[in-house]
Amino acid sequence: MNRTWKISLLILILIGCASCDISTKWFATQHLQNGPIIQVLPDVVELRYTENDAIAFSMLKSIALPTRNIIIYTTSTIAFIILSIITYQSRNESFLWLGSLMLILAGAIGNLIDRIMNGYVVDFIHLHYGNDVSWPIFNVADVTITIGALILAVLMFRKSSEKKNEISESVY
């Protein structure tokens, strides 16, 4: 793949995923905030508006708001900078490697924009099985971050396995 196409596709992934997150949060705010819960797949998937002023799984909720926001904004900024540096340093890696980083960055950007604009992140996708099993409510940014992290973990595992094979082959 030529370098220009690669960069263009990576930027498209970044902008497309961040835009999808922002637009679905807008939809959730407009149609779910004061409206009924929408059953997409009864007893499994529903759309339910929530505002998360903490982080994933409502962690840090027990910390008072001014301190919590300082922690959240500081760590988010540091994570964004580190992820940007890693992306730049990985610029010669495979498209899949860089694409997974773009997914993570897109989700981080979407949630950061939401937090800056509203002081919280809009979550609206709820997976559950009846009343017995319930996953915390999440959004599209969380999905892109998770998918990007999973792809990256698989690629890192493969790279680690390949290095182990190279080392063991060079010993014999």
CA distance linking residue 169 with residue 160, whole number of Å: 14
How confident is the model at residue 172, as a pLDDT? Answer: 58
- Known catalytic membership, residue 123: yes
Q: Which residues of the chain have pLDDT under 50?
A: none
pTM across the whole model: 0.86
How confident is the model at residue 66, as a pLDDT? Answer: 85
Of 21, 43, 53, 142, catalytic: 142
Q: What Cα–Cα distance (Å) separates residue 128 from each residue in 1, 39, 76, 97, 140?
A: 41, 11, 29, 31, 17
Residue spans per domain, the chain: 3-171
Of 21, 114, 123, 132, catalytic: 123
